[in-house]
Structure 1
Amino acid sequence: MHAVGCDRLVRCTFIKRAGNRLVLEVLESDGVKIKVPYRTATRTPILLSTCSLRIDNKAPYDLLLELARGTLFRFRTLCNACLDADLDLLDLTLALLRDATDNFARAAVTKDHPEDADKLALKSLGDALEGISQLEHVYSAASHLAIKKQGQQRAFLRGMALNEPMSPDIKSLLTAPLNAALVEPNWKHCEPEIGHHDWQQVDQTLESIRQEGLSTILGPLFSLDRFTTPDWLYLWENDFAELLNAVQRYAVELVQHFRNRVDLWYCAAGLNDQTAVAMKEEQRLQLLIHIIHSLRSTGLRAPLLVSFAKPWGEYMTSRDRELAPIHFAEELVRARVGITGIGLEFNFGEHTPATYYRGYFDVEDLLDYWSLLGVPLFVTLSAPSSWRPDPEAIYDANRQEEPLERISRRTQRELVEHILPAILTHPQVQGVFWTQVSDAQPHRFPHAGLLDPRGRPKSSVTKMTEIIRTYFPENI
């Protein structure tokens, strides 16, 4: 749970329980929206939002009623936008809108009877969520039609990230409608000792991809998380100048070895959030700029990409964080350091460093917001397919009991079904990549691969292929 201001930025939020109430202390004088994790009737996790709430309100708010109000407001706004654009709505959708409105109105006037009011608010909330789900196809179809009317073939990269040796199971996935692949040169493996480099695995993977006729993106070159940070780099955790020198040396070696062999350079990922090496916010931004300058100083003129973790900025609930993800990106764009594309990391899940689950219109709104930067966007995407322990995952929750949220292969497939159309049909987005391929090899997020530990494709692969072919039939 956290608060968001009128500028869409997360506010520093402190939450405590006082009897049967939740008390939120927010460093804000204006109204805020409260974002709350929620489970639907089918135990599907989603993040709900209230409308803007006054800070100085004397009486306590009824949280369930306010969530129903916020969801109904979004439902009505989306329906009105469709009608204004002369888009046809199903009779069932309009009926859900009437029922949601009626139930909310009845809940609002029966607050003196909390049990009855809560039941009515839940009915309104359920109807509004179902109606919003029905609108997803309307919006994605309209967006796709608008792009097609531009009359030119759209350049769009579709692929997956490879940070492990190529295998027959993985190679079988690198077929149409995919047209690109990310190859991550894991710093921990490529430079196990200072000055000693091993590029063999990356070379072999790149060659396999080029033989398949796919576009190649090298990176992320630097993420500095627990998965890729060399053990020897921790020696300079408190020596930022020496850390910058190590980054520059590795960047130069990368360019010298892979120059003219890749199409795009993905220079950094997630440096705005958690890193294995402790850094202040200004050091994170300085490091980003230093990486880009180091690559450009070699004479590299190829396009450069940078991506940011937790693009909704949930980590700003902490008092020691001031720069939202979009602030990092804005500084890079303003500095004119030669960034070609900005990436958003949608690694969904319930535990750090993942981002809590969002819906179609949450993603659509965020993409619209980041589009204000005026830079092409790309997205990296992942979601878990099981709640059980994953011994190969760096960020495993190690749970022994099933959580209240439903987490399964079906929920992974449903997330692809809901989220991917929003990404593929957004005019500012030019690429999407699934973050993990296999659950058999060491990886970051638990059960987030497209292949299970036995190398068998999950149902998400079929759904992803079906959706991409729907929006890019001319590239098949």
Structure 2
Amino acid sequence: MGQMHFHVSDAAAEFFHHCRWNDAYLCGIEGVPWQTRNAFHPGAPSISGPIHSPDDLPAEFKASSNAGGKFTLTRSVATSAKLLITCPIEGIGYRVLTTCSLRCLDASHRLIIELARGSCYRVRTQADTWQRGGLLLNERFEELLATGTQHFLDSLQPQSAVVNARSGASLIATNLEADAESAKSAIQAITVLEQAASELGDLFSSQSMAFRRSREPRLSTMMAVGVSPEVCCASHGGVSARQNQAASPASPAAKTSSTATLDNALAGIDETTNTIGGQIIPAFNAAAVRISWGDIENASGTPDFSSVSKVLDDCASVGMRVIGGPVIDHRDGLLPDWLTLMDNDFEQLLSSMTKFVEATVNQFRGQVHLWNAASGLNVAGPLRLDDEQVMRFSIGVLQTIRRCDPTTPVIMSIEQPCGEYLARHADGISPIHFADALLRSGLGLAGIGLNFRFGFDHGETHPRSPLEFAQLIDRWGTLNAPLLVQLSIPAAPGTDPAARLKTSPVSLSPEIDGRAEEWARQQHEFARPLIETLLAKQIVHAVVWDGASDQAPHVMPHSGVIDSHGRPRPMLAYLTKLREELLM
């Protein structure tokens, strides 16, 4: 059993208690989290026993937020590790901060100092690496880096400690004043260095994009919008795709009519109000159509492909490429309910899966340009499979698709690619190790999908800076396989009655209030640098925005580029401009 302790001084207590420390975890050099138990031991004499969540703090302690203590993380090994904790950064929002690698000691590390050291190390080393590769740094970044580094150095040796020592002040007074000054300097260092990290990320994406465009004026990257089959069922009350084909394919009337049909499918609205859907299509050059077991086969052996067929016809009529799947979506509530009858019969489950995948691929072969075989099998889900069964199930899905459609590329998608789920549950497989095993299986896997869901209370990836996100994509790039990246970010608070998953949105910034307009702006501001980072990476072949319109049935709450009242969000205008300027 290994414990890592961090001292939270009184001067740093307010910053710490605004962090999401109950979700913090430890990881090794590979970035794979250990299962971790967190506890905070307040230093105030009126509080006894460990605190496992901010909700456990007494009311008087919450009100003051000025008492420190000891933050302890417990795991099964006693090797060195890095701490990852989500903290609020002034002017930026919540971001994951990382310490450097620390030894597992009986003594406590100084938390705020180690977080500042980690920020300083990450920004300086990544800037040096990219600069050696040809990146040009600007004056703003240089100034932020110099200022942040100076604040970090000030936190290591506060000036007041030197002055008081020379003046003969009492040791207690000297320590208290020095501790307060050190904490203040460390927090300033973190704030400025994280601003430098954002600036560095922008420099990388803009210059890398310029280099790509010098060789490829129009990027071939797929920018896809997620479409659910329920949308199709609700939207095809008017002109059908087959009726549209009765007109001449070259006639303007035929093109307008078929576009309207797809617009309705994307917007999830009646055909008489299809102008909103018309704003969606110019923003995307592909559609990620959900062709999923839980949506199609409500009763064993009786799949209903009608709604999916209509949307695929419409995509073909307007020239949109199609990503089909995930054929198996391994999340609670997204698999057929009748599978619970097979809890103890894995062979029967495997047989039922094979029959469904065969029927689905045979039905849509030639209409799908990329198969998304399965999503989330790396995470413990409703099927409750052990590691061996997960691999057999995954390989069975891949083998069946390759057998029925040997020419269309197939990918497998990973939930929570940073592996946050491993920090809380022993069940589950390391995401990058799972992907590596599938790529080595010899089944012709064409690439890996990475599903990032930021800002939700369940199954989310903790919010990263553009710099951290770029480093994460580079880590996945070491597998030498093309990547498809799916993004889900909420643009409104509260319950979304049209969403399949009832997870709740969580703000990505403590400064955001409950207004939907503020959330929509937050969605755009958080997503923009991530998307530009992805487009700058040649290994990323497709980006999927998971949600068209919140008016239609969808999976993730409030994630659409159009809100539940039919109003376009800032994200839609950004994606439309991006496609006009950069994409085919």
Distance in 2, matches of 1:324 and 1:99, equals 38
Is 1:452 the counterpart of 2:563? The answer is yes
Closer, same or farther in 2 for the Cα pair 1:467/1:49, shift >3 Å? Answer: farther
Alignment pair present for 1:92 and 2:177: no
- In 1, the alpha carbon distance for the partners of 2:144 and 2:402 equals 55
SS in structure 2 at match of 1:271? coil
SS in 1 for 2:404: coil
> 1:172-229, CA deviations, whole angstroms, 9 ceiling, x for partnerless residues?
2453452211111242332121222211111111111111111112111111323431
User: How has the CA–CA distance of structure 1 residues 280 and 193 changed in structure 2, closer, same or farther, with 3 Å as cutoff?
Assistant: same
CA distance in 1, matches of 2:375, 2:362: 21
The answer for the alignment partner of 2:33 in structure 1 is 10
The one-letter amino acid of 1:463's match is: Y
Is the partner of 2:113 in helix, strand or coil?
A: helix
Q: 1:306 to 1:398 in 2, by over 3 A?
A: closer
Contact 1:227/1:444, CA 8 A, preserved across alignment: no
Task: Quickly say closer, same or farther: Cα 1:197–1:356, change in 2 above 3 A.
Answer: same
Residue among 186, 192, 200 paired with 1:121: 186
Find 1:141's aligned residue among 206, 213, 219.
206
**Per-residue CA distance 1:435-463 (angstroms, 9 max, x = gap):** 12222233332211111112222111112
Residues in 1 aligned to 2:507 and 2:316: alpha-carbon distance in whole angstroms? 44
Comparing 255-264 with 316-325, greater Cα deviation is found at 316-325
2:522 corresponds to which residue? Answer: 411
80, 85, 90: which one aligns with 1:36: 85
Is the Cα contact below 8 Å between 1:387 and 1:403 reproduced in 2?
no
Counterpart pick for 1:308 among 414, 427, 436: 414
Return closer, same or farther for 1:151/1:379 CA change in 2, 3 Å cut-off.
Answer: closer
Choose from 426, 439, 442 the match for 2:550.
Answer: 439
Indicate which of 331, 342, 350 corresponds to 1:244: 350
Equivalenced residue count is 472
The answer (yes or no) to whether the contact 1:185–1:202 under 8 Å persists in 2 is yes
C-alpha distance after superposition, 1:390-427 (max 9, x if no partner) = 22334435589999473711110011212101111111
* 2:448 aligns with one of 311, 319, 342: 342
Corresponding position of 2:311: 205
Match of 2:382 in 1: 276
Equivalent-residue separation in structure 2 for 1:43 and 1:424 (angstroms): 22
Shift, 1:12, TM fit = 2.1
CA distance, structure 2, for counterparts of residue 465 and residue 50 of structure 1: 38
Q: Give the conservation status (yes or no) of the 8 Å contact 1:394–1:444.
A: yes
Q: Secondary structure of 2:374's match? A: strand
Letter in 2 for 1:44: G
Q: Does 1:156 align with 2:221?
A: yes
Q: Please state whether the residue corresponding to 1:335 is helix, strand or coil.
A: coil
Give matches, 1:172-183, under 5 Å: 172-183=278-289
Match of 2:576 among 465, 469, 473: 465
Q: Deviations over 1:121-150 (max 9, x none)?
A: 111111111111112221012322443455
CA RMSD of aligned residues (A): 2.4
Provide, for residues 138-176 of structure 1, a one-character-per-residue CA deviation record: whole Å limited to 9, x for no partner.
101232244345568653211111002214367424534
- 1:316, CA displacement in angstroms? 1.4
* SS of aligned partner of 2:495: coil
Query: Within 2, Cα distance between the matches of 1:83 and 1:331?
Result: 34
Residue aligned with 2:86, SS: strand
Distance 1:331 1:43 in 2: 37
For 1:262-306, what per-residue CA distance to the aligned partner results, in whole angstroms no more than 9, with x for missing partners? 222111111211423222232222211111112223354311111
Structure having the higher helix fraction is 2
Q: Are positions 1:131 and 2:213 aligned together?
A: no
Partner secondary structure for residue 373 of structure 1: coil
Q: Which residue of 2 aligns with 1:49?
A: 98
Which stretch has the larger CA shift, 239-248 or 395-404?
395-404
Distance 1:400 1:46, change over 3 A: closer
Out of 106, 113, 122, the position equivalent to 1:74 is: 122
The alpha carbon displacement at 1:45 in A equals 1.6
- In structure 2, do the counterparts of structure 1 residues 68 and 278 end up closer, same or farther at CA, with 3 Å as the change threshold? same
Q: 1:274 to 1:450 in 2, by over 3 A?
A: farther
CA–CA separation in structure 2 for the residues paired with 1:405 and 1:247: 46
TM-score (norm 2): 0.76
- Counterpart of 2:112 in structure 1: which amino acid? L
Distance 1:391 1:74, change over 3 A: same
Q: Which residue of 1 aligns with 2:17?
A: none
Deviation at 1:11, TM superposition (A): 1.8
| Cα pair 2:123 2:193 within 8 Å, conserved | yes
Q: Secondary structure at the match of 2:37?
A: strand
Is the alpha carbon distance of 1:465 and 1:359 closer, same or farther for their aligned partners in structure 2, counting shifts above 3 Å?
farther
How far apart are 1:28 and its partner, in Å?
3.6
Instruction: Write the distance in 1 (CA, Å) between the matches of 2:207 and 2:92.
Output: 30
Structure 1 range deviating more: 417-426 or 280-289 = 280-289
**The residue matched to 2:543 in structure 1 has which SS?**
strand
Report if the CA contact (8 A) 1:35-1:48 is conserved.
yes
The reply on whether 1:423 has 2:446 as its aligned counterpart is: no
- In 2, Cα distance between the equivalents of 1:349 and 1:445? 11
The one-letter code sitting in structure 2 at the alignment partner of 1:31 is: S
Q: Note the C-alpha offset of 1:59.
A: 2.9
* Residue identity in the other structure for 1:361: L
TM-score with structure 1 setting the length? 0.92
The alpha-carbon distance between structure 1 residues 188 and 323, as it changes in their structure 2 partners (threshold 3 A), is closer
* Contact residue 414 and residue 449 of structure 2 kept, 8 A: yes
Secondary structure of the residue that 1:297 maps to in structure 2?
helix
* Secondary structure in 2 matching 1:363: helix
Query: Which has the higher mean CA deviation after the structures are superposed, 122-131 or 20-29?
Result: 20-29
CA distance in 2: counterparts of 1:298 and 1:45, whole angstroms: 45
Deviates more, 1:244-253 or 1:270-279: 270-279
- Higher-Rg member (1/2): 2
Q: Distance in 2 between matches of 1:35 and 1:402?
A: 17
Amino acid at match of 1:454: H
| Partners of 2:28 and 2:82 within 8 A in 1 | yes
Q: Runs of 5+ in structure 1 lacking a partner?
A: none
Aligned residues with identical type, % of pairs: 27
The separation in 1 between residues aligned to 2:401 and 2:350, in whole angstroms, is 13
**Counterpart residue type for residue 74 of structure 1:** R
Which stretch shows the higher mean deviation, 272-281 or 422-431? 272-281
